[in-house]
Structure 1
């Protein structure tokens, strides 16, 4: 079969075809046919079953062309079924019960025939000397195979190899291969990425049932346009069309609708093909609008201005100077946005770099050398000449009508012709600037390579061969059935103090795989001692794992791997920590290694420079990120601390300046002046030897006292007036909303359980909480919206710096609606309160969540550590569970009205609001 019109061939296949002004030949219409529009001698008719018919009478040539166009091409294929439209095109010549050998019957009648499959359509055309009997036979055959083609497995098996050979022939062509690869790179989602020939594996393996279903869906009268052109009598032809096609029933199925829109390309793309060949190619493709768009006419003229040989710009800049042996430009005119492509073939000894640079210059630097009126006039003349020649060829006219039908409607042929006549140089320069730009470009190179070094991916063996009879290794050591109730956790936990102030909780239990979790927090320094040294303090932690006095970063990592331990040694302004997730038999060795890393860091200079570069890069990145920008601005607005305070929120510029001024010696000095492990909390949960572990903890940590004793920095509630801030972050399609209201609340306050449940009802669950139900489920404005309560905690006194926080994302144009809905739900919560059903559901959810969390060793270890720090035990957790269960609607509503103030809510949004 003839290859489809793709790549450079589009320049020839889709040249606009006008016709001479002719008086419409209006036929007497049979009762089953409805007359439609007539344009310049081309008249449309429609049958009741949906078939559209175009008749174009031209008595000047004694020939007739029948062209049946189906609105199905590679665009309409599904995953795993590429190439089906083209494969089906082949099978349509395998006959029907009434016409078992269509090629032979055509040959006997002297009919010249072919068929093509493109991105948007498949067409079948036949040309023959004008003869009523032959025309009647062709119409009857086409009506028959529209619904009755065999599409049999036996035919598929034979024809599949033929199609595969056609595919192989196409792959011999350097330009064909390059264009195929470039399409797949240029398009992210649209099926224009796939050439009609399809993927080899799809063509070889498509089930016949899939192909038959594809045929039944698309080969129907309501998806077809029948074109008959040449020396015909319209009334007679229309009568024969009605006789053959009108009996075909209109299908009951609904035509599939394709809605994928290719997103805007967001940067230069490149693809390189290496194959054994003597031809080197350079090509560039740019996304351009569909045929129906007003810019399409100017792009057609631009393609001629650039690609004409010998008057085009590419010829003069590339071929004439012998940079390339051939160069052309063409634009696709399709139903959906397609590609505008420039391609050049290099001489065997050509300079690919110079050729590519000049090719791109001709496309992307038109503003520096604008297209002139003379160039546009000459291009329009050339197009017009081609139009006149095609108008005299009835076969060409029939084919042109099918292309424009595939692009939306056959009348676009005339609309586009007229639009081209009105194109000006200003139009051409405008579209060149709009579309031929680097960030819209896919650059392709075909590089001749005598022995391509490809990675052939072998097929996997049969899964059954791998798994049948497999028994595996010895089972992992089973653990005990530990009941994570508060009483059992308390009964199994041993708590004691090492030295003067290192508190320890040990919960030994037999775990599957003998796993164990260790968490250690060490405290030091006070507010006054760390003043002015915040940056250095924050940098000790990241540097700890980069090397010790005896081991490099790589050696530390490899040793923890050998011990089968996930390890983290960290540090901050007033504390350091160790987290180990390991096994019983390696816990002590891993703990010794972690202690050595914490106590004896090397602070290597090259690691410091590398981490600082990463941090600087990350800070610069935050400048244009909606989430980071809104979060920083919100934090700064609510920041109660003055400049210079250890907890002051720094701007990006402040952070960058202090980071760039930081010296490695400052980091070393901070570790020397403040670090110690004699005060803190250690919690260990899992499979371990308590006796051996106690001795090791005493040996490793008890004697290293911090030079400056620990005193926490107190935090307190501060009334902050409501504020609304909006930040524009260009080219960010997702906008971020962050909202906050300060609340005077401590975790131990009597109001906390009620208020925490209220916030869970407002925004806890992203789907069923009030914010989620309204903003995501009902209004469809946001994928993620939620609210949370932050409550302060303190070892002594009552720190009360709590807050309500709300966060959401949305498209920038929907952010106003989202904020309005969010505020409405918050006001509704305060005014109306909650219901008994909401309370029961939220309390039940909280109960399950708290109970399930205690089934995880890491959570238990964290709970034990918190209890040591705040001076609590499992009685506190039991009382909290009871408080949740005893909540009443009245208590929750009272807490809501006491603490939540919608008028005090500050909202910060960031996104591309242009």
Structure 2
């Protein structure tokens, strides 16, 4: 599970009342439930035991998200007990007397689950296809584990090592390590000095009695906010919430209060981390106010002005000049005063002193070059686009509301949005001068100063003064209740061919916020044509968005921002692609802009050198990374292609040599000699006019034919003998294991569904599959272990280059035990096969996963595009669904015996094996 982490017009001719408000107005509230404020379709209710409930109904997406937020994070931990909130987050998946196997029960119902712990809060969230029975089960389970989780010593002992392994994985990341050290230096007394992962000694030694007491204190209804969002009937949902949560008694205890206020920083601070790595970083952090304080909004805008890529000041001053390979800036939005941080990544031969000087100049000398109104307007547009996209996705809103609740109240989400819209350049320059100053900085340097110039952090006002009576704006325009079934998608999709070979599928539907997703893939060239030119071919794609003959990189990004469209134009050796996620009103213009970028790239020399610098820096960094070493070793061992072949796996040194020898003219020539758009696939799903779009697609793409017609490179199974390789990566406390066995399998093969289910039972769910249950849940050796099946696909013939892959992480000293357990489970699977119960659970999970994958516009577009390429239609999905449902234990076991060969498994491990 991932841990710690940062008003639209009503649809055409539709005057839709938000479902949550409509239900609220027409239905009586359950007994003991009190109505609270309603803002833009989000409505609050309160139970007598103190539980706050938010309902956000949206019929346009066939999913439901339940997000239970507790007001407890690392901020609330005591001395010697750091990491307890995060550790408890793990243990709540260990079950209750009523629900002894929460991951298993979730898997059976096809529920996508996760939980996160941050500085201010812990949340547990589940997402699933809209279903009253599943919603009722989730609500009942969450009400049960709110008070009745086992929190047992045996579970603590096993999960402690898993959490420690997660900590070790984080310690492999230079950025994460530096940020953790800087935070501990920036704060003297406030608990924001501590990351949620906690101190290793605390995690390893916390008494179970302390953890139980922590649980009983904070996991109570009066410290929780329950968010239910998606395709729900608000009245029925509220009734089920009340049925499960109202019986929970309001606790007698009073929640602990926290009165520590971080003192004003009185001088520059410095911290240096010295560890084995090829990556050099320079960063600076400054204390800034809490989210509720008025200055937070202009600070958020300032972070975007400085940190945006490619129009931010840091990008232009440090990345365009190749002083740094990467640079960014952002401001925290927390319950208490947090940090504003700038960070830069140096090239391998970069000058730290020059990078540090420029980074500090960009932060602390803004008065010499004040932020302009144009910069503020562009930043506010980018922020507004992100907010608008979030508002169009009810599930994303459900998650965002938890972050603002953690900062004081969920309504701050709307208050902050409004505040950002009113920010001026004068505001941004004022907060830059007030907070981005040397004596408020943690870089870390201490310099005695005769006349201190301290930054006083203003206190935040009472949150109630900001949110009480707040009404907000009109809710985002709602869409239709789209049925994502195979039959409905097939019935509503129109497929046709433009010109000789451009295949198109269009699925128009009314969406919340009038959103639309487009994916286009254009194909060209064959194996013979690109041999010897593959390096140049792989570099055309990254250069496309670097500038066209009309617009430079920054102007392209700004134009897509103005069109409220997320866009990517990219390419590779045998194809180019366009991906758009935007709005009905701007689709045509965004598509024309993307086509111009694809057809008329400028290939500027400066951008080429900058991208090459980034690539070289990244390759040098990877030299000592365990994951890279294991992955590269495995890929080279299984590589069937000779040196010089376009698909040959290069070493880091080979990649660096070819990269340094590459000339921009080679890249230009590749685009000239191969690119075209007359052959390929385009799929569009969402809110658009199909008649207009057909004309646009014909005009933009049909006439540009590649000089070299497309032919795919065939791939075939190759029997590879088992081997075992070990790579030593000093000073890396987390080790990586990768394993592989080649398999002759194609996606269309009759036994693919059976083998796919078998591999899912072996390693699909990191908590409940056999590998996860044995290695994580029982043995406590790894935070992340899993297995996957790769099956080949082909347009003609039968390409069959498939494989079984297994990956895991662990402490280096535990890698031997982990590998032994992994091999034992694989041997047991082949020898004993699966059980009927495992098959039922895996097929049920697969059914829900496939249904849910067809609920998102982007996923549907990708699916339609694949069908166009491989000559399939939605009947393939219906047949595959039926094949999964019809599987028998005997079929799966036969596929296991036919394809899985433990003796042919190759294992590659990398870590600090002292």
- Contact 1:788 1:806 (C-alpha < 8 Å) held by counterparts: yes
SS at 1:692 equivalent: helix
Q: Which residue does the alignment assign to 2:450?
A: 449
- Closer/same/farther in 2, CA of residues 463 and 906 from structure 1, 3 Å limit: same
Cα deviations by residue, 1:498-533 (Å, 9 ceiling, x for unpaired): 111000000000000000000000000000000100
Give runs of aligned pairs for residues 414-813 of structure 1, distance below 5 A.
445-450=446-451, 452-813=452-813
- Closer/same/farther in 2, CA of residues 902 and 583 from structure 1, 3 Å limit: same
SS at 2:683 equivalent: strand
- Contact 1:734 1:911 (C-alpha < 8 Å) held by counterparts: yes
CA deviation after TM superposition for structure 1 residue 645, in Å:
0.7
CA deviation after TM superposition for structure 1 residue 889, in Å:
0.4
- Contact 1:272 1:445 (C-alpha < 8 Å) held by counterparts: no
- Contact 2:853 2:859 (C-alpha < 8 Å) held by counterparts: yes
Distance 1:665 1:193 in 2: 48
- Contact 2:75 2:191 (C-alpha < 8 Å) held by counterparts: no
CA deviation after TM superposition for structure 1 residue 455, in Å:
2.8
CA deviation after TM superposition for structure 1 residue 735, in Å:
0.2
Give runs of aligned pairs for residues 271-290 of structure 1, distance below 5 A.
none
Cα deviations by residue, 1:105-149 (Å, 9 ceiling, x for unpaired): xxxxxxxxxxxxxxxxxxxxxxxxxxxxxxxxxxxxxxxxxxxxx
CA deviation after TM superposition for structure 1 residue 454, in Å:
2.9
- Closer/same/farther in 2, CA of residues 595 and 190 from structure 1, 3 Å limit: closer
Distance 1:444 1:455 in 2: 17
Q: How many residues are aligned here?
A: 507
SS at 2:607 equivalent: helix
CA deviation after TM superposition for structure 1 residue 78, in Å:
9.6
CA deviation after TM superposition for structure 1 residue 267, in Å:
2.9
- Contact 2:75 2:192 (C-alpha < 8 Å) held by counterparts: no
Cα deviations by residue, 1:243-302 (Å, 9 ceiling, x for unpaired): xxxxxxxxxxxxxxxxxxxxx99439999999xxxxxxxxxxxxxxxxxxxxxxxxxxxx
Distance 1:842 1:580 in 2: 34
Distance 2:192 2:529 in 1: 70
Distance 1:553 1:271 in 2: 26
- Contact 1:271 1:443 (C-alpha < 8 Å) held by counterparts: no
- Closer/same/farther in 2, CA of residues 514 and 190 from structure 1, 3 Å limit: closer
CA deviation after TM superposition for structure 1 residue 476, in Å:
1.6
Instruction: Give the counterpart of 2:274 among 267, 270, 281.
Output: 267
Q: Which residue does the alignment assign to 2:889?
A: 889
Distance 1:899 1:187 in 2: 46
CA deviation after TM superposition for structure 1 residue 608, in Å:
0.2
Distance 2:191 2:636 in 1: 59
Distance 1:781 1:604 in 2: 50
- Closer/same/farther in 2, CA of residues 542 and 706 from structure 1, 3 Å limit: same
- Contact 2:76 2:191 (C-alpha < 8 Å) held by counterparts: no
CA deviation after TM superposition for structure 1 residue 443, in Å:
8.3
State the Cα RMSD in Å: 3.0
CA deviation after TM superposition for structure 1 residue 464, in Å:
1.5
Distance 1:511 1:273 in 2: 41
- Contact 1:733 1:811 (C-alpha < 8 Å) held by counterparts: yes
- Closer/same/farther in 2, CA of residues 706 and 270 from structure 1, 3 Å limit: closer
Larger RCO: 1 or 2 (CA < 8 Å, sep 6+): 2
Q: Which residue does the alignment assign to 2:902?
A: 902
SS at 2:472 equivalent: coil
Q: Which residue does the alignment assign to 1:74?
A: none
Distance 2:285 2:192 in 1: 20
Cα deviations by residue, 1:545-582 (Å, 9 ceiling, x for unpaired): 00000100000000000000000000000000000000
SS at 2:469 equivalent: coil
Distance 1:584 1:186 in 2: 41
Give runs of aligned pairs for residues 395-406 of structure 1, distance below 5 A.
none
- Contact 1:583 1:687 (C-alpha < 8 Å) held by counterparts: yes
Distance 2:185 2:520 in 1: 58
Distance 2:851 2:465 in 1: 44
- Closer/same/farther in 2, CA of residues 690 and 625 from structure 1, 3 Å limit: same
Distance 1:201 1:631 in 2: 36
Q: Which residue does the alignment assign to 2:841?
A: 841
Distance 1:581 1:819 in 2: 43
Q: Which residue does the alignment assign to 1:104?
A: none
SS at 2:636 equivalent: helix
Give runs of aligned pairs for residues 19-58 of structure 1, distance below 5 A.
none
Give runs of aligned pairs for residues 323-362 of structure 1, distance below 5 A.
none
- Contact 1:271 1:445 (C-alpha < 8 Å) held by counterparts: no
Distance 1:189 1:79 in 2: 20
- Contact 1:186 1:193 (C-alpha < 8 Å) held by counterparts: no
CA deviation after TM superposition for structure 1 residue 81, in Å:
7.5
- Contact 2:523 2:679 (C-alpha < 8 Å) held by counterparts: yes
- Closer/same/farther in 2, CA of residues 643 and 463 from structure 1, 3 Å limit: same
**Unpaired segments of 5 or more residues in structure 2?**
1-73, 81-177, 194-209, 211-270, 276-280, 287-442
CA deviation after TM superposition for structure 1 residue 460, in Å:
1.9
- Contact 1:523 1:679 (C-alpha < 8 Å) held by counterparts: yes
- Closer/same/farther in 2, CA of residues 816 and 471 from structure 1, 3 Å limit: same
Distance 1:78 1:651 in 2: 45
Q: Which residue does the alignment assign to 1:865?
A: 865
Distance 1:272 1:669 in 2: 43
CA deviation after TM superposition for structure 1 residue 453, in Å:
3.1
- Contact 1:273 1:446 (C-alpha < 8 Å) held by counterparts: no
- Closer/same/farther in 2, CA of residues 804 and 516 from structure 1, 3 Å limit: same
**Unpaired segments of 5 or more residues in structure 1?**
1-76, 84-184, 203-216, 218-263, 275-441
Cα deviations by residue, 1:201-252 (Å, 9 ceiling, x for unpaired): 99xxxxxxxxxxxxxx9xxxxxxxxxxxxxxxxxxxxxxxxxxxxxxxxxxx
CA deviation after TM superposition for structure 1 residue 446, in Å:
4.2
Distance 1:720 1:270 in 2: 45
Distance 1:467 1:658 in 2: 58
- Contact 1:272 1:444 (C-alpha < 8 Å) held by counterparts: no
Cα deviations by residue, 1:452-483 (Å, 9 ceiling, x for unpaired): 33332222222222222222222221101110
Structure number, greater radius of gyration: 1
Distance 2:772 2:192 in 1: 44
Q: Which residue does the alignment assign to 2:332?
A: none
- Contact 1:549 1:600 (C-alpha < 8 Å) held by counterparts: yes
Q: TM-score, normalised by structure 1?
A: 0.53
Distance 2:902 2:678 in 1: 46
- Contact 1:537 1:573 (C-alpha < 8 Å) held by counterparts: yes
SS at 1:267 equivalent: coil
CA deviation after TM superposition for structure 1 residue 774, in Å:
0.4
- Closer/same/farther in 2, CA of residues 780 and 706 from structure 1, 3 Å limit: same
SS at 2:446 equivalent: strand
- Contact 1:273 1:447 (C-alpha < 8 Å) held by counterparts: no
Distance 2:813 2:516 in 1: 50
Q: Which residue does the alignment assign to 1:339?
A: none
- Closer/same/farther in 2, CA of residues 910 and 510 from structure 1, 3 Å limit: same
